[in-house]
Amino acid sequence: MGYVRTALLLAALTGLFLAVGWLVGGQNGLVIAFLVALAMNAFAYWNSDRMVLSMYGAREVDAAAAPRLHAIVARLADNAGLPMPKVYVIENAQPNAFATGRDPGHAAVAATTGLLNLLSEEEVAGVMAHELAHVKNRDTLVMTVTATIAGAIGMLANFALFFGASSSSNDGERSHPLGPVAGLLVALLAPLAAAMVQFAISRSREYEADRIGAEICGRPLWLASALARLHRGAERVENRAAEANPATAHLFIVNPLHGRAMDGLFTTHPRMENRIERLRRMAIAMGQAGPWS
């Protein structure tokens, strides 16, 4: 059901993008919007991983530079039937992690020094299994496409203000469907609707990555314990790079931003209590007892 929900939400986001394109420029606007979406997604497909790793100053490490982390990722990748991804470390005190890459053959996982210093080996394994689940599900590509379309909707919505202000073409006929009031409404509501769909997709993929990550490492409570500690750590320690680039917040295993919205429609991550409870129920179903064993 997680995959079906994601597909429906992506379809809704794409439909919203095309609708805004039509409202801004009629049939020509719709075609232009579609071509812009294709171009932006093609660029994001080939370049998003390098851009985000560079943004956070990630440093690639091998088995000699980070033996514990590298060995954990190698073991989990084998469990998941995935190629060994590139492994990166980010010099950042906030405990967090993310995955990126356009497909399993070009994937990377990154962990902050704050995470590596805070968590036990079992908890690190739970986190890396979650990130490999994102790779296995191709969530990194899905969320890149989602963010690109949502950004394009915002751009078109800004154009709506200008197009809506122009009332007619040279022959007296309207050159686009918008009037001034409609242009203002599109400019205000379209980005809001796009953000809501984008956040819903992000929350859906996080739940699915928790579930599959727990299966990859075989111990749901390792991940549950890690999530609880990461959540508390991220609340205490600021991630300045993430605060400067809030559009990347959805990539991280826990929300890196301190200016969080209320839980619900406007959050990129599910409620932590809900994530942990799902993992605990999963552990019980697998016959694993104890608080975090």
> What are phi and psi for residue 96, nearest 5 degrees?
-165, 175
What distance in Å separates the CA atoms of residue 86 and residue 69, rounded to the nearest whole number? Answer: 11
* Strands 86-90 vs 108-112: parallel, antiparallel or unpaired: parallel
Which 8-state DSSP code applies to residue 83? P
Which residues make up each annotated binding site for Zn(2+)? 130, 134, 206
Q: Closest Cα to residue 140, out of 193, 86, 69?
A: 86
- The reported pTM is 0.80
In Å, the largest CA–CA distance within the chain is: 76
What distance in Å separates the CA atoms of residue 218 and residue 59, rounded to the nearest whole number? Answer: 29
Active site residues: 131
Residue with token string 């750590």: 233
- 293 residues of the chain, pLDDT tens digit each: 556 766 776 777 777 777 777 777 677 766 776 777 678 777 777 877 888 899 999 999 999 999 999 999 999 999 999 999 999 999 999 999 999 988 899 999 999 999 999 999 999 999 999 999 999 998 877 776 776 677 677 777 767 666 554 444 444 444 455 556 666 666 677 767 777 777 777 788 899 999 999 999 999 999 999 999 999 999 999 999 998 888 788 889 999 988 554 445 557 788 999 999 999 999 999 998 665 54
Bridge partner residues of 90 (DSSP): 112
> What are phi and psi for residue 100, nearest 5 degrees?
-150, 175
Which 8-state DSSP code applies to residue 97? E
What distance in Å separates the CA atoms of residue 76 and residue 100, rounded to the nearest whole number? Answer: 16
